[in-house]
Amino acid sequence: MFVDEHELRVKGGRGGDGAVSFRRESRVPKGGPDGGDGGRGGSVIFRASHHLNGLGNLQNIREIKAEPGEKGRAQNQHGKNGKDKVVEVPVGTIIYDLREKVDGPDDPSATDDLDLANAPEEAFTEQGASGEDVVEQRVETEVVQIADLDHADMEFVVARGGKGGFGNKQFATSTNQTPTEHTDGNPGVERKLRLEVKLIADVGLVGLPNAGKSTLLARCTHARPKIAAYPFTTLSPYLGIVELDQDNRFVMADIPGLIAGAAQGRGLGHQFLRHVERTRLLLHMIDVSEGEPEQLKQDHDVILNELRDHSQDLAAKPRIIVANKADIPGANERAAALSGLLDQPVHLISGVSGQGLKELLWAIHHKLTALRKED
């Protein structure tokens, strides 16, 4: 199953405590303090990887912790730093910090019994059992984007480890030669995060279910999406690399088919619309194997409206209109009529036979080249 959203907690390692120790040598009966500092706690680090396509590796993980730092030791030995916990996520992962806030009375005692980590949307604390008023507390979550890992090997520290505490040697002064003071290590940063994947591709395939998007992707790339002659075959986004020649290539993404109302949650494609937000170009595929030109235009308008409802920026992206299934009798005439109704070019292809495919792919390449020059 393709997983493109996940929530979890991350905790940096606690810093090690400083040590309290004094030199004990046969010829130095009253040696000075030699307690070392504690080690720093490890940090939790997310690293973007091209080897992952979704968050399936984290699906069953609810908490990630880094190692704590070791305590300081005698003879001025500092504790060992805790190991960082490096977690790989897909390129295109956006990290949100879920910050919990409490709205309620100013009296701090009213929140003594409130467990913020596990509180429901509305939590309550009772002031005694003598029938006194119940104080309502509302926990709200502020969602703040903190990182966008949009290229391979990019790293972001999501939970930094705590500093180590000071050993007693740090507290020695001219008037206090035998200090017993030390400090404990600091706790690491703790956060609740939401991870969201937006696939990164040059070209996004959009269209109604069974428009032939998966067939086109499979024929042009090494991707192997599930293909069958019924709607909603594609249940997950697929990425493939189109190699025109040794020097020219681009990445294409197949998005599950959209239906009317997708932006409001109908069908399967709505949850994947965000995956085409990062694309430079949309390839809008229409099945012209049957139907009157007016119906084909309606099919076109359904997709355009869904893109617009999801995001005006998405609807404004450059699009190439592709009429698929040229191998079916009458497809050529229907594609020509559709082009007239839309008042724009329509590329006629067959994902099965390959008719018109080479011309289409080079047209995509030239369009992408022009768009990159505009950036």
Q: pLDDT tens, 261-310?
A: 444 444 444 566 777 888 899 999 999 999 999 999 999 999 899 888 88
Tokens read off for 63: 């908490």
| Res 194: pLDDT | 96
Average pLDDT of span 185-196: 97
pLDDT of 250 reads: 87
User: Is 211 contained in some domain?
Assistant: yes
94 and 236 housed in the same domain: no
- Write out the residue range of the structural domain in which residue 81 sits: 5-102+142-197
> Tell me, what CATH number does 231's domain have?
3.40.50.300
Global pTM reads 0.69
Give the pLDDT confidence score for residue 13 in this predicted structure.
Answer: 98
Q: Is residue 113 part of a domain?
A: no
- In a shared domain, residues 212 and 187: no
134 domain-assigned: no
52-68 residues labelled b (16+ CB within 10 A) or e (exposed):
bbbbeebeeeeebbbbb
List pLDDT tens digits, range 17-40: 999 999 887 777 667 899 999 999
pLDDT for residue 271: 60
CB-based contacts of 163: which residues, under 8 Å, 6+ apart?
A: 15, 40, 41, 185, 186
Other CB atoms within 10 Å distance of the CB of residue 71: 24
Q: How far apart are CA 135 and CA 45, in angstroms?
A: 39
Residue 124 forms part of a structural domain = no
**Residue among 22, 108, 90 at smallest CA distance from 275:** 90
What kind and span of H or E run contains 335?
Answer: helix 331-342
- Shared domain for 94 and 230, answered yes or no, is no
Residues 216 and 312 in one domain: yes
Same domain, 236 and 319: yes
pLDDT of 14 > 70? The answer is: yes
Tokens representing residue 183 in the block: 């400090």
Closest CA to 48 of 2, 4, 90, 6: 90
The answer to whether residues 209 and 171 belong to one domain is no
* Same domain flag for 97 and 210: no
**180, 197, 214 - which closes a domain:** 197
Q: Is the pLDDT of residue 197 over 50?
A: yes
Domain count, the chain: 2
Q: Which segment of 142-151, 175-184, 211-220 scores lowest on mean pLDDT? A: 211-220
Q: Which of 14-28, 49-63, 114-128, 334-348 is the least confident region? A: 114-128
- Is the pLDDT at 113 greater than 60, yes or no? no
**77 vs 119, which has greater pLDDT?**
77
* Shared-domain flag, residues 223 and 351: yes
Name the DSSP class of 202: S
Do 237 and 316 lie in one domain? The reply is: yes
CB under 8 Å to 88, separation ≥6 — which residues?
46, 47, 48, 49, 51, 52, 57
Tell me the mean pLDDT in the region 65-78: 97
Q: Quick check: is 136 in a domain?
A: no
How many angstroms separate the CA atoms of 259 and 305, rounded?
A: 10
Average pLDDT over residues 147-161: 96
- Three-class SS state of 85: strand
Average pLDDT, the chain: 83
Is 42 among the domain residues?
Answer: yes
**Do 236 and 362 share a structural domain?**
yes
pLDDT at 129: 43
Per-residue pLDDT tens for 339-368?
999 999 999 999 889 999 999 999 999 999
Structure tokens at 158: 């999501």
Greater confidence, 215 or 44? 44
Which distant-in-sequence residues (6+ apart) come within 8 Å of 54 by Cβ?
Answer: 2, 3, 4, 90, 197, 236
Between CA 186 and CA 88, with CA 146 as vertex, the angle to 5 degrees is 80
Task: For residues 193 and 226, state if they share a domain.
Answer: no
Rounded distance, CA 368 to CA 323, Å?
A: 20
Q: pLDDT > 70: what percent of the chain?
A: 80
Model pLDDT, residue 47: 98
Q: Assess if residue 135 is contained within a domain.
A: no
Of the residues 197, 219, 239, the one at which a domain ends? 197
Which of 9 and 174 is assigned the larger pLDDT?
A: 9
Residue 52 resides in a domain: yes
CATH number assigned to the domain comprising residue 21: 2.70.210.12
Mean pLDDT of 77-84: 98
> Residue 120: its pLDDT value, please?
42
Q: What pLDDT band is residue 115 in, cutting at 50, 70 and 90?
A: very low
For residue 36, CA distances in Å to 29, 72, 91, 169 come to 20, 5, 41, 7
- 186 & 297 share domain: no
Question: Considering the chain, what percentage of its residues have pLDDT values greater than 90?
Answer: 53
Confidence of residue 116 (pLDDT cuts 50, 70, 90): very low
**pLDDT for the residue 200:** 76
Q: Who has greater pLDDT, 250 or 120?
A: 250
